[in-house]
Structure 1
Amino acid sequence: MMENTDSKRLLILKILSEDDQPLSSQIIKERLQERGTALSERTVRFHMLALDKAGLTEYKGKKGRYLTASGYREIARNQVYDRVGFLSSRIDELSYQMNFNWKKRTGTVLVNVSLVPLENSSVVYHLMAPVFESGLTMGQKVAVFCPGEKVGDVEIPEGYFGMGTVCSITLNGVFLHSGIPVTSVFGGLLEVSGSRPDRFAAIINYNGTSLDPLEIFISSGMTDCRGAAEAGHGLIGASFREIPASSLDEVTEIHQHLVEMGLGGILKVGYSGHSLLEIPVADGRIGIITAGGLNSISALVEADIPVRSKALSGLIEYDRLIMYTDLFEELGRTRS
């Protein structure tokens, strides 16, 4: 890992992290220009060679370069923020667009989409089930997408199936449409000890990043969701939100109904003026820690299955979701 990765190289790493395929120096040059950084292709190659040498990128011949696990860790360590507030704004926008009615159990919810090779479909349920059973992920429902289907701007390619996991931002949408404002503060790695949330080991503020924190942590190999679910000790993705203190009773009631319909995700609640897992909560506010929607997918990545995920992918109808207990049978149909 580089001791002093300068801003241009960090921006190159960020550009590579946004794409699922290797990028050439020419494409990287164009992406840099779009962000207001003008470099010659020769200069870009110079920086790329330095990143290769540091083990942060790897050259794939004519296809270009891709980001290594060390590269993702470098992004997480330096918190590459080239578009301040981008993710925070997207969270607010998608929360507003969501129209799920928890009383009628109809409408749209927000999902993350993960691309999983069809050849791995037989083991997916067995790896994911313990995470769902432990309650360390967002709800207990998922959606399965076939090749050719499109969710948001993600299209499922041939040779893959799509796993739609409920994004924790769904809670924002539900509360918002109930008249309860929600402030999403940060996403982080939550240490679980004795099957209970213990402390945050790393955090990335939403109002300062264009990357989803959990995507970074998963790609960097920093999670241990299987350990947390199966042994009660590990690191999972989680987020920290705040709501008005006066809304606590209503939020508690709504969340109880969401749990009944497979959409619960709150792990811990803090009170006004008191810290929550060492995170201070302002007067007049309530702190909420929610489980990451991609935690069940982390179990696949930790088992060395080559999964590609995109958080906050798009909105789908609630009735498209199935209980995770039906996942084995549903995936069986993708193999037939």
Structure 2
Amino acid sequence: MMDPQIERKLIEIMRVIHESDKPIGARAIADELNNRGYDIGERAVRYHLRILDERGFTRKHGYAGRTLTELGESEMHDALIGDRFGFVISRIEEMAFRTTYNPETNKGDVVVNVSYFDKDDFETVIDVLSYTANSGYTISSRVKIFEEETDTEISLPPGKIGIATVCSVTFDGLMLKAGIPVEPAYGGVMQIENNAPDRFLDLISYSGTSIDPIKVFMTRKPTSVLEVLEHGNGKILANMRQVNSSAYDRVKEIIEKAEKAGLKGCLPPGDVDEFLYGAPVEIGKFGIAVVGGINGICALEETGIEIVTDPISTVLEYSSMSEL
């Protein structure tokens, strides 16, 4: 049996390859691993990559680097389940750290979700997302379209178009840049009554799962976003964060500045030591509910459009995104 420390490094290397939108080389992998706290050089990465090649988990694309094989993708998701507990929170923290958006200039990197759909559905996708854009149940009315013929920023399956929507983790980045630690607490389904948040119906703790809760709920298709838009009642996806009570006033200022700049969906903070829409809050902290950045995508799924989404996918320069 191989050393568990080596196995963990192999899995982490596979994660880095999986998260890359294109083939990635040993040097770039080593740089990313160092960013994640792994003290490993390019030569050591090459050694581990040879092991992955021999196992059939990676495929080499000349000097461009490597991608995961289908077997590698399966192994990455199945291996070291204990290691993957808390990985979702680590991913959120990493993407929040990479956020550079400044509401005052309306420029900088924001966190995005990337969804893929058939070219034939393009007009419907734009129509539905435009309908949901300024509802207050998404983060921003800006999107970025990726087409196979013109874009190389992400890898597109044949016959597909990609669309990036702003993710709620962008708010985590804004708080972090202001020196405010934010704890991802829950992802859930929120009931809307008379065009106002009423309560969380279902919650999954970020600290107790190896899978993004929002992705879990998307698979279950529990939303009725179109009903909310048309009648003011229904279900949307939302997240809850916890923040130390000492940052209460500063958090309100950040939310207000972001809203003036066009980033919406962050609901007013709850009271210190009080449940938020039925979700528990730790002593000495207060909760913040943020609508899911993919509620527009959920609305698309409700129309029957087949669409695959990768939440918390990457970061994009906000000024490169277009208003719907």
Q: TM-score, normalised by structure 2?
A: 0.72
CA distance, structure 2, for counterparts of residue 299 and residue 132 of structure 1: 11
CA distance, structure 2, for counterparts of residue 156 and residue 146 of structure 1: 8
Amino acid of the structure 1 residue aligned with 2:93? D
1:31-110 superposed matches below 5 A: 31=75, 35=79, 83-110=84-111
Structure 2: unaligned runs, 5 residues or longer: 1-17, 19-69
Q: How many residues align?
A: 255
Deviation for aligned residue 1:129: 2.8
- SS of the residue 1:249 aligns to: helix
User: Is residue 2:161 matched to residue 1:117?
Assistant: no
Match of 2:249? Answer: 249
CA distance, structure 1, for counterparts of residue 93 and residue 77 of structure 2: 28
Match of 1:130? Answer: 131
User: Is residue 2:304 matched to residue 1:296?
Assistant: no
CA distance, structure 2, for counterparts of residue 29 and residue 248 of structure 1: 42
- SS of the residue 2:263 aligns to: coil
Deviation for aligned residue 1:208: 2.1
Deviation for aligned residue 1:176: 0.2
Deviation for aligned residue 1:34: 6.1
CA distance, structure 2, for counterparts of residue 127 and residue 185 of structure 1: 30
CA distance, structure 2, for counterparts of residue 271 and residue 94 of structure 1: 27
C-alpha contact (below 8 Å) 2:252/2:268 kept by paired residues: no
CA distance, structure 2, for counterparts of residue 34 and residue 252 of structure 1: 41
CA distance, structure 2, for counterparts of residue 33 and residue 98 of structure 1: 26
Amino acid of the structure 2 residue aligned with 1:213? P
CA gap of 1:33–1:278, structure 2 versus 1, over 3 A, is closer
Deviation for aligned residue 1:181: 1.0
Match of 1:278? Answer: 278
CA gap of 1:159–1:178, structure 2 versus 1, over 3 A, is same
- SS of the residue 2:184 aligns to: strand
User: Is residue 2:312 matched to residue 1:312?
Assistant: yes
CA distance, structure 1, for counterparts of residue 164 and residue 186 of structure 2: 22
- SS of the residue 1:255 aligns to: helix
CA gap of 1:223–1:33, structure 2 versus 1, over 3 A, is closer
CA distance, structure 2, for counterparts of residue 205 and residue 321 of structure 1: 31
C-alpha contact (below 8 Å) 2:112/2:316 kept by paired residues: yes
CA gap of 1:27–1:295, structure 2 versus 1, over 3 A, is same
Deviation for aligned residue 1:172: 0.4
C-alpha contact (below 8 Å) 1:183/1:242 kept by paired residues: yes
Match of 2:164? Answer: 164
Deviations 1:304-335 (A, max 9, x none): 111010001101111112222xxxxxxxxxxx
Deviation for aligned residue 1:301: 0.8
CA gap of 1:281–1:157, structure 2 versus 1, over 3 A, is same
Amino acid of the structure 1 residue aligned with 2:246? S
CA distance, structure 2, for counterparts of residue 106 and residue 290 of structure 1: 21
CA gap of 1:185–1:118, structure 2 versus 1, over 3 A, is same
CA distance, structure 2, for counterparts of residue 112 and residue 81 of structure 1: 26
Match of 1:191? Answer: 191
- SS of the residue 2:269 aligns to: strand
Amino acid of the structure 2 residue aligned with 1:88? I
Deviation for aligned residue 1:118: 1.1
CA gap of 1:30–1:315, structure 2 versus 1, over 3 A, is closer
Deviation for aligned residue 1:124: 1.8
Deviation for aligned residue 1:95: 0.9
Amino acid of the structure 2 residue aligned with 1:252? K
C-alpha contact (below 8 Å) 2:130/2:141 kept by paired residues: no
C-alpha contact (below 8 Å) 2:225/2:295 kept by paired residues: yes
CA distance, structure 2, for counterparts of residue 127 and residue 33 of structure 1: 32
RMSD of the alignment, in Å?
2.4
Deviation for aligned residue 1:81: 8.0
User: Is residue 2:252 matched to residue 1:208?
Assistant: no
CA distance, structure 2, for counterparts of residue 229 and residue 268 of structure 1: 20
Deviations 1:242-273 (A, max 9, x none): 11222222222222221122222212421102
CA distance, structure 1, for counterparts of residue 304 and residue 250 of structure 2: 42
Structure 1 stretch displaced more, 270-279 or 125-134: 125-134
Deviation for aligned residue 1:276: 1.3
Match of 2:141? Answer: 140
C-alpha contact (below 8 Å) 1:225/1:295 kept by paired residues: yes
C-alpha contact (below 8 Å) 1:183/1:243 kept by paired residues: yes
CA distance, structure 2, for counterparts of residue 216 and residue 30 of structure 1: 18
Match of 1:6? Answer: none
Structure 1: unaligned runs, 5 residues or longer: 1-17, 19-25, 37-79, 325-336
CA gap of 1:88–1:33, structure 2 versus 1, over 3 A, is closer
C-alpha contact (below 8 Å) 2:168/2:290 kept by paired residues: yes
Deviation for aligned residue 1:89: 0.8
